[in-house]
Amino acid sequence: MGFFKDLTFAAACLSLTVAASPLQERTTDGIDYNNYIIRGVNLGGWFVLEPWITPSIFEPYANGGGVIDEYTLSASLGKSATQTLLDQHWGSWITEDDFAQIAAAGLNTVRIPIGYWALAPQDGDPYVQGQLPYLATALGWARNHGLKVLLDLHGAPGSQNGFDNSGRLGPIQWQAGNTVQTTLTAIHNLVDWAVSNNFMDIVTSIELLNEPAGFSPNIKMDVTKQFYYDGYGYIHDKTPNTVTVIHDAFKDIGGYWNGFMNSATGVGNVMLDTHIYQVFTPGELSRTPCEHVANACSNKGKLAGTDKWAIVGEWTGAQTDCAKWLNGLGTGARYDGTFTGTGGSYYIGDCVGKDVGTVATMKQVDKTNLQYFVEAQLDAYEAHIGWIFWCWKTESAPEWNFKDLLANKLIPQPITSRKFAPQCDGAACMVPS
């Protein structure tokens, strides 16, 4: 049974103290997000594999073999070999030194994606478990270095979006059968685990589900909203000062979501997560550097127009989709016309220096354009609650690798400084073409 049986009466069923402001207040350790800017990074590719983040793991299947994601990798290798592989990966991909570097860069938050299979494994799934001890260690590292954590359920049974970042590339089958209830069970188990292990001073927010595909006919938004209410109800009951994060499901963050789960409905401590990329359609990819900056700046007003806290929980320095396998294992890029998937592609430019390698191997003009773009996004996204970059590190996708961008001085240091004049103030664009 859900926490709320009927959305119409959901607000009436709650007994909460509502602040005068439409933006509700606090987390456990006293953070007032009305007067606080989140600056963070995602620890992508750690507990949920993505071929483009760690291509070395998937390289044996680059030319076929049926492996395209963590699900098929696990099925192909079998439980024992998968366990050995992933134990090695979990123990090495992120270390305490990463947390130290994140804190030293002036960041205050890490978002840690995890799949349902780590929390509520299902009979017949090929996935393996063992992630939680590593997660516990990570939370200890966060505590050591003064960082807060957003725990993010990144993959749901059946896949909530059909992307490989859900664990399983293919049909969107979340909401079929018992998948929603299983997802709630995963949330319950995650909350119970964090509370019982006294991590709520570190875990200031929990995201119920990453990127449910509200654009798909397979995803019913009334079911998604009920799931949000049910998940929120459990978190509020167990740890009432913890922020519940809901993803926008690719719907307009203001027009669609305003009026839902805000203080006027009697619901507090809810944050809306939106992800802003400009690399997944030929139209976006054909923008000039100045047009990329202008589009980034246009989000400043959209974020300010929400009636609840809103965070840009994923964004990137990339202005292309050139990163190796970003669009799926073995696939090409729209930018250079080699992508053959849905929507097609056409040649816009070459991917040399953007597809593999390090920031140091990028062309200087690409570095400069990226630096302008990053600073514009920082200015736009800090106008509300803040941002979390995707992602902290990659093996060979330089435009997405915050750690490498930082080392090559393309991320401002201090993080509040700017190399270029503010770009979202209406001044003429100065970005080189």
**Region 19-44 average pLDDT:** 71
430 vs 128 pLDDT, higher one = 128
- 59 counts as catalytic: no
Q: What confidence score (pLDDT) does residue 383 get? A: 83
| Average pLDDT over all residues of the chain | 92
Could you please report the per-residue DSSP string of 118-185? GTS--TT------HHHHHHHHHHHHHHTT-EEEEEEEE-TT-SSSSGGGT--S---TTSTTHHHHHHH
pLDDT, tens digit (0-9, with 9 covering 90-100), for 35-88:
899 999 999 999 999 999 999 999 999 998 999 999 999 999 999 999 999 999
Catalytic residue among 25, 50, 314, 375: 314
pLDDT, tens digit (0-9, with 9 covering 90-100), for 300-329:
999 999 999 999 999 999 999 999 999 999
**Which CATH number is 381's domain given?**
3.20.20.80
Q: Which two tokens stand for residue 57?
A: 């793991």
**Region 99-112 average pLDDT:** 98
Q: Which two tokens stand for residue 346?
A: 């056409």
**Region 387-404 average pLDDT:** 98
Asked whether the beta carbons of 321 and 355 are under 8 A apart, the reply is: no
Query: 110 - beta bridge partners?
Result: 41, 149
User: Is 430 within the bounds of a domain?
Assistant: no
| pLDDT score of 1 more than 50 | no
Determine the Cα–Cα distance for residues 200 and 80; give it in Å rounded to an integer. Answer: 33
Q: What confidence score (pLDDT) does residue 14 get? A: 36
- Angle between helix 289-304 and helix 364-381 axes, rounded to 10 deg: 10
Could you please report the per-residue DSSP string of 326-360? TTSTT---TTBT---STT---B----TTTSSS-GG
- 207 counts as catalytic: no
Q: What confidence score (pLDDT) does residue 235 get? A: 97
**Region 124-152 average pLDDT:** 98
User: Is 130 within the bounds of a domain?
Assistant: yes
Determine the Cα–Cα distance for residues 203 and 245; give it in Å rounded to an integer. Answer: 12
Q: Which two tokens stand for residue 217?
A: 């006919």
**Region 200-215 average pLDDT:** 97
| pLDDT score of 117 more than 50 | yes
Asked whether the beta carbons of 75 and 61 are under 8 A apart, the reply is: no
User: Is 427 within the bounds of a domain?
Assistant: no
Determine the Cα–Cα distance for residues 356 and 323; give it in Å rounded to an integer. Answer: 6
User: Is 1 within the bounds of a domain?
Assistant: no
425 vs 133 pLDDT, higher one = 133
| pLDDT score of 292 more than 70 | yes
Residues written for the chain: 433
Q: What confidence score (pLDDT) does residue 120 get? A: 98
Q: Which two tokens stand for residue 160?
A: 């909530």
- Angle between helix 179-196 and helix 221-238 axes, rounded to 10 deg: 20
Asked whether the beta carbons of 150 and 39 are under 8 A apart, the reply is: no
Asked whether the beta carbons of 122 and 157 are under 8 A apart, the reply is: yes
Place of tokens 């992933």: 86
Asked whether the beta carbons of 172 and 214 are under 8 A apart, the reply is: no
Could you please report the per-residue DSSP string of 129-144? --HHHHHHHHHHHHHH
Other Cβ atoms within 10 Å of 311 Cβ, number: 28
User: Is 310 within the bounds of a domain?
Assistant: yes
Lowest-confidence region among 223-237, 331-345, 409-423:
331-345
- Tally of domains within the chain: 1
List of residues 6+ apart from 30 with CB closer than 8 A: none
Determine the Cα–Cα distance for residues 317 and 362; give it in Å rounded to an integer. Answer: 13
CA-closest candidate to residue 45, choices 76, 69, 75: 69
**Region 144-159 average pLDDT:** 98
Catalytic residue among 50, 211, 382, 399: 211
Q: In which band, very low, low, confident or very high, does the pLDDT at 205 lie, cut at 50, 70 and 90?
A: very high
**What residue numbers bound the domain in which 363 lies?**
7-407
Determine the Cα–Cα distance for residues 39 and 378; give it in Å rounded to an integer. Answer: 9
Q: In which band, very low, low, confident or very high, does the pLDDT at 27 lie, cut at 50, 70 and 90?
A: very low
User: Is 422 within the bounds of a domain?
Assistant: no
Determine the Cα–Cα distance for residues 153 and 118; give it in Å rounded to an integer. Answer: 10
